[in-house]
């Protein structure tokens, strides 16, 4: 089995692009070039996936609400997103007079950059003999948690820098919501680390995904807490407190238009699919081969799309929870449950059950 990075390097050498022959610094340049190409591939794949998710969401929501959905531009409305993108990117990029122009401009790119980096860390499994693991260091679980935790900071900065009272309230809600779900999520992930501490590198997502037992069976409480935390992380109904269109107009991004608003919009659906991949890798075996060799990537996508439909159904079907009730839910229910799950993991290891 060949790693995707090695495959990219071999293709470059075959095309006559080989800086490695020029010594140590040339090897560094070659590695940087390989990672840049890998990042572009991830960006392209993530963009295509986000477009598919948006189209599926709009048609799925329309079907549940007994509507037709996009049906004018292209067959079955598949080109509606292209028309919407051209419309958004053609709009004027307005910066309010009271806004901090530097932070206001760069806040959306903080969200999108760390979203793409999070996709880069996910181990995608094996596809017909090609190992689709782009980053395989010891601490990929910590990297993914860190990248996914930094991305919401861009939303907070966007709200604070807009000079708008609704944006400010949205930023405050985003900060409070992040604290309420991040801590239980990290403690739930710590339960996985404890459970796999005797089986190898328990902080490596590839090793976690190779576990023969789905951890959702061994840690049902941790799986529940992690699932709820993922829903809160996406900041969609019932936990769309930073936006709350009926209360805060559009929340932290109310002053944004044009390209930067489009980046925030793409970030929402990108985080939905990222959360689906994250929970599939940690608790359901990720891209492990099943039935036949080389099918790991296919099974990972199947698991992720199942979770994606669950998340979208919750978005469509449930009402928004009140902000104070979500705070109570996070600190008084999710946090104690995550601690109970951690104790349960320690007991399983101490008793030699796993």
What is the DSSP track for 29-78? Answer: HHHHHHHHHHHHHHHHHHHHHHHHHHHHHHHHHHHHTT---S-SSSGGGT
Assign 267 a pLDDT band (cuts: 50, 70, 90).
confident
| pLDDT at residue number 294 | 63
| pLDDT at residue number 226 | 93
| pLDDT at residue number 186 | 92
Beta strand 126-127 with 130-131: parallel, antiparallel or unpaired?
antiparallel
**Per-domain boundaries in the chain:** 92-350
**Residue 179 and residue 176: Cα distance in Å, rounded?**
5
| pLDDT at residue number 221 | 93
If one compares 26 and 200, the residue with the highest pLDDT of the two is 26
Assign 184 a pLDDT band (cuts: 50, 70, 90).
very high
| pLDDT at residue number 41 | 86
Alpha helix positions (H), 196-317: 205-209, 215-218, 220-234, 245-248, 258-283, 296-317
Instruction: Tell me the average pLDDT of the chain.
Output: 84
List, for residues 38-87, the tens digit of each pLDDT value.
888 888 888 888 888 888 888 888 888 888 888 888 888 888 888 888 88
Residue 124 has pLDDT above 80, yes or no: yes
Stated pTM of the model: 0.88
Return the bridge partners of 126, or none: 131
Assign 292 a pLDDT band (cuts: 50, 70, 90).
low
List, for residues 308-352, the tens digit of each pLDDT value.
989 988 888 888 888 888 888 989 999 999 999 999 988 888 887
């Amino acid at each position: 089995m060949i790693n995707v990075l090695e495959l990219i390097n071999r293709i470059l050498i075959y095309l006559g692009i080989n800086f490695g022959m020029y010594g140590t610094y040339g090897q560094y340049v070659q590695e940087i070039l390989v990672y840049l190409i890998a990042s572009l591939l991830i960006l392209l794949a993530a963009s295509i996936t986000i477009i598919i998710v948006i189209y599926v969401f709009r048609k799925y929501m329309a079907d549940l609400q007994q509507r037709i959905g996009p049906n004018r531009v292209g067959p079955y409305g598949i080109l509606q997103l292209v028309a919407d993108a051209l419309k958004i990117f053609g709009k004027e990029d307005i910066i309010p007079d009271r806004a901090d122009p530097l932070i206001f401009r760069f806040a959306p790119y903080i969200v999108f950059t760390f979203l793409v980096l999070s996709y880069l860390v996910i181990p995608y499994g094996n596809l017909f003999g090609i190992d689709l693991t782009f980053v395989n260091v010891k601490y990929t679980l910590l990297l993914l948690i860190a990248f996914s935790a930094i991305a919401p900071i861009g939303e907070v900065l966007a709200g604070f820098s807009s000079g708008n009272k609704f944006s400010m309230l949205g930023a405050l809600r985003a900060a409070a919501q992040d604290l309420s779900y991040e801590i239980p999520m990290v403690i739930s992930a710590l339960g996985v680390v404890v459970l796999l501490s005797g089986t190898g590198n328990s902080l490596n997502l590839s090793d976690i995904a190779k576990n023969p037992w789905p951890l959702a069976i061994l840690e049902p409480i941790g799986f529940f807490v992690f699932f709820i935390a993922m829903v809160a992380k996406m900041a969609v109904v019932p936990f769309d407190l930073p936006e709350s269109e009926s209360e805060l107009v559009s929340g932290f991004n109310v002053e944004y238009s044009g390209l930067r608003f489009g980046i925030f919009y793409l970030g929402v659906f990108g985080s939905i699919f990222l959360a689906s991949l994250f929970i599939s890798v940690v608790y359901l075996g990720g891209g492990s081969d099943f039935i036949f060799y080389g099918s790991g990537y296919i099974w990972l996508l199947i698991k992720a799309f199942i979770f994606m439909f669950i998340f979208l159904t919750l978005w469509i079907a449930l009402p928004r929870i009140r902000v104070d009730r979500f705070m109570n839910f996070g600190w008084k229910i999710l946090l104690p449950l995550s601690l109970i799950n951690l104790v349960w993991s320690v007991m399983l290891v101490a008793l030699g059950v796993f």
